[in-house]
Amino acid sequence: MISNQNLEKTKQEIKKASGTIIVQAQDDRYNRKILEYGKFNILLSPESGFRKDKLKTLDSGLNHVLAKIATKNKIAIGINLQEIKKLQKKEKAERIARIKQNIKICKKAKTKIKVLNYNNKKQAQSLLLSLGASTLQVKEAVL
């Protein structure tokens, strides 16, 4: 997993890495640049970090433009369940609401979703279904 703040260093690490390459999401500008660069497999948790919500909408770290770029470059959006389990109740509720919004965006843009660090396959599948994912998304997300 690559979790570097510097874009150029991240690109160098992607070139050196082999196998499944996971990049930790940062701020919006970084996410856009790294998605356009491509050459990796999963962008992990774009909903994490400090996000300022508007009055009627959540800032989930993903929009339809980023989702279409991810689809074009064959990059999946990752959800880390282990990280969500460690959060406090209020933070967990906010994070799940943002994930729900991201799932809806991914469904419209046909972007793949991957679930990481789950204990039970069935529980991970049922969580995704309850958050609004289609059955096709659930089958692809949980391997």
Q: What is the pLDDT along the chain (143 residues), one digit of tens a residue?
A: 999 999 999 999 999 999 999 999 999 999 999 999 999 999 999 999 888 888 888 899 999 999 999 999 999 999 999 999 999 999 999 999 999 999 999 999 999 999 999 999 999 999 999 999 999 999 999 97
pTM: 0.93
Ordered structural domains, the chain, with CATH: 7-141 (3.20.20.140)
DSSP state string for the chain: -B--S-HHHHHHHHHH--SS-EEE--SHHHHHHHHHH--SSEEE-TT-S-----SS----S--HHHHHHHHHTT-EEEEEHHHHHTS-HHHHHHHHHHHHHHHHHHHHHT--EEEES-S-HHHHHHHHHHTT--HHHHHHH--
